[in-house]
Structure 1
Amino acid sequence: MHPALVRRPPSAVRPGVAVSAVSDAPAPAAAAVADQRRGLLRGAGGGAVTLLVLLALLVVAVALSIAVGSRSIPLGTVWEALTTPGLGSEDAVVVRELRIPRTMLGVLAGLALGAAGALTQGHTRNPLGDPGLLGVTAGASFAVVLSIWLLDVGTPSGYVWFAFAGALLGSVVVFALGSAGRGGATPVTLALAGAAVTALLYALVQAILVSDQETLDGFRFWVVGSLAGRDSDVAGQVAPFIVIGLVLALANAPALDLLGLGEDVARGLGQRIWLARVVGLAGVTLLCGAATAACGPISFVGLVVPHVVRAITGPRHRWLVPGSALLGAVLLLTADVVGRVLARPGEVQVGIVLAFVGAPFFIALIRRRRLAGP
């Protein structure tokens, strides 16, 4: 008789454990369930506290971003500028016209990149996964280069829609290629398709930049990643997409917890795999695409932040996704403030500061050899 048809004796079933698709699963899946349950207990215990602490840190980072820069402005003056609309002092104008829009964009981009990183690592099951792995950053870069080369677009607000369209197109191509096989979209096929599309698009970008000096001059400021020179119009253009992306990311979190047990187990528990992949990719595209369109490519936030949050709350995405979003905003604002302070009266772009912070962390991840998956 086939082993699957042999009825288990009552003694084989542990008391208090319901017989289900999980209890009948192979040993590796059962072990995965046990590991996930241990992680869930740790995440549920400290998740709410972690989110409150991160929210408090974000408030502090916002205050520093508004008050500290090429020159410091006292918090009293900041408060007066916020509460007195007609105040025309130089400090009040700096606060209202420059620092508040910059801080708003930093919060939005940080939330987007942190949450997109958690989604990417969850769907690809790759602890070194970054939102750029799905072709979003390369697609945005290619579209911006084309807009400069063909249409002479030269302002951050002009780049936004081209970059967002390119990010959307890049992610759609990656998902289409990753879904073309018999097994559909899997972590391996998505990663391979993303690597191929990214390599192709960056090759085209380099070919255009090498052949046209004016395009290179216009592109190099955007590609370094910065919050400088962006006004409230840029933040307003990308805010709706980031909000929708955050909603999709939070809605996708329970599915990621099930997918972490293995696709067979998740399917046995009623999860529609294709729907979870589509929602997750849509969230990553909206979040990373909008942030990249507004600020340029900013590396390491989506890579570093989920690891830090996971070490505190555990692997449960109910806490990991919002925690990564909040910590991403804190990290991005803090790096922007550091860049403004280091090179007074000029500034170091936030993308460069984050590269100095993220590169050692990335090297440490590679050297560990015992990388825990999402």
Structure 2
Amino acid sequence: MRSPKQEVFKADHTTMSEPPPLPGQQINDGKGRIFPCEQCGADLKFHIGEQSLKCPFCGAKRELSFSENAEIREQNFEEMVAELKRRKSEQEHEDPEHQEVRCESCGTDVIFDGTLTSIDCPYCGSPLQREKIHTGGFRVNVDAVMPFQIDPRQAQGKIAAWVQSLWFAPNDFKKIGAKGKCNGVYLPFWTFDTLTFTVYHGERGEDYTTTVGTGDKKRTVTRTRWYTATGKFQRFFDDVLINATGKFSKTDLEELGPWPLDSLLPFTQEVIAGHFARTYDVELEDALPIAKQIIDAAIRSECRGRIGGDRQRVHSVKTRYDAVTYKHCLLPIYMLAYRYKGKSFRVFVNGASGTVRGERPFSWVKISAAVLSALAVVITGLALFSR
């Protein structure tokens, strides 16, 4: 059990008399960052429709600010892995799992658990961010962020349409829909670029037909002639996207793509102001083997295409990876958790494109009826054919 000073939300108004921080000023020893409105002093939030910072009280707007040299750069993978190992060898302890951030609006101390990096204050609603998670230490800096393009109301509409499109869904579920709050969150992803060089060995099969047997047993059969096939080729892979969070369904998040990665912006804290954000669970060094699985599958498919013919046998594929680079990106996702007949389900919405994927209930009555109907059609067809 937590002591009073360790409560997740601790009220403490001793700082209310202090002057408000300047826009973008770090608070609480660099652990957080807020963006006060220059007109009324309230905290600015990123407004999806305006694609800028906007005050929820007086409506004042401020365009996103970037430094003159701001750009999205590909980062050297090997250099960063070596740098992370150096940092860990020089420090005894990593940043604590739980960090407190003081809300400058109401004085509440908010604890950030695990990989959560931004949240609204539970007492006054002001946006808070755990800054150090995005700027170094043992963590890899964020290189780019994709702003939300659709708002929560639009996301709810996408989910409603998704529910109505589901096959074999219970009728009462389609009637009530997936009810719950749609929360927007920035989730971490890695992208990898690499130039590959592949040497392959296999066989190309070419089909031909021939007649075998005699008399009543005479028939035409298809056979295959096999020829040795070898080759080599280069291929560049750009922005192979890897989900870097271990908290959510890997399949659901992967199926939210494709992502409009050309809309990425150089990372700025302003874009995530007022929104949830998480840092990565999958380390950079552990993410590359996952990316290589995707790349290897694409290369093996290309080997088959280069072998050609009617059939292919691939005996060996050897690939070298050169010039491996990465980016650490935050992508926008809406999440909705709902319950149906006592069971929990979760739905995800691509915050840029509106694509919906998630868990849903099934009507086994409808499925059984469909199976019986299909069997009836097959039986009827067989009966007509036998006649």
More strand per residue: 1 or 2? 2
TM-score (norm: length of structure 1) = 0.27
Give the alignment's TM-score, normalised by structure 2: 0.27
**Bigger radius of gyration, 1 or 2?**
2
